[in-house]
Amino acid sequence: MSPFPYRLVATDLDGTLLRPDETVSRRTRDALAAATEAGAAHIVVTGRSVPWTRHILEDLGYEGLAVCGQGAQVYHAGEHRLLTSVTLDRQLAGLALAKLEAEVGPLALAASRDGLDGEVLVGAGYRVQDGPLPYLPLDDVAQLWSAPLNKVYIQHPELDDDALAATARQVVGGLVDVVMAGAGVVELLPLGLTKATGLSLAARRLGVKAAETIAFGDMPNDIPMFAWARHGVAMANAHDDLKSVADEVTAASDEDGIALTLERLLSR
């Protein structure tokens, strides 16, 4: 058998490592453990902020570094502390929202506050996905700006996710970055921030290079991570924009796509 060809396995969470019920299959857990035994580190790279990620890491028995908040946060799970944190300029974000609403009309808003226990605030009309993730209702939009933020979420009553993201990039792309991270999830981020930003910082701490990394993902927000890593693997359920830049496409997240790829590499 040849040695495992990568020193770092980077996995997105939703739609990638997680099945639709937010669990990780035994087969995928075993494949990741085997890759780790073969000398590779596993690092979670997710759009979720730390408070929405921590319970998953604990279930996995994960004690290493995780990249959260679309690259804004590098979190040490074993030590329960933030190593880096990038916040959104609230003045720029407010200006971006005003310009965007002038173009497309009123938006439904939510926001993720910075920190290990940063709350997610959800405004009127914002469609929250079903599930156990906690959030606080936003009664007054002024509350949005009362504490440091990682990101602002936007939804439009008529435009779909791709159209909203494309319009936002065109209108306010010089003020903030705009990503589509999942169904109903369009986000405004600090300009220049991507998953690759946080992943490169975490990899440097681990002494691992981009050329030694395989990355798995499913959404357009994973495109910078694929560009940074040596090999990008899109799930069968991935967005077409990500598939178009992937080095390969594996099975869907609920069909053990990560495990299938890792098992193949481990058996060479």
Q: Are 217 and 12 in contact (CB under 8 A)?
A: yes
The whole-number pLDDT of residue 1 equals: 52
Q: Are 168 and 186 in contact (CB under 8 A)?
A: yes
183 and 95 within one domain: yes
Q: What is the pLDDT along the chain (268 residues), one digit of tens a residue?
A: 568 999 999 999 999 999 999 999 999 999 999 999 999 999 999 999 999 999 999 999 999 999 999 999 999 999 999 999 999 999 999 999 999 999 999 999 999 999 999 999 999 899 987 666 788 898 888 888 999 999 999 999 999 999 999 999 999 999 999 999 988 899 999 999 999 999 999 999 999 999 999 999 999 999 999 999 999 999 999 999 999 999 999 999 999 999 999 999 999 7
211 and 138 within one domain: no
69 and 159 within one domain: no
Three-state SS at 84: strand
Last residue of a domain, one of 142, 170, 189: 189
Residue in the block written with tokens 């921590």: 54
Residues in the chain: 268
In 10 A of CB 141, how many CB atoms? Answer: 14
DSSP line for 156-182: -SSS-HHHHHHHHHHHHTTTSEEEEEE
Total structural domains in the chain? 2
107 and 53 within one domain: no
Domain holding 257, by residue range, is: 8-85+194-267
CATH code, domain carrying 62:
3.40.50.1000
Structure tokens at 84: 């880096």
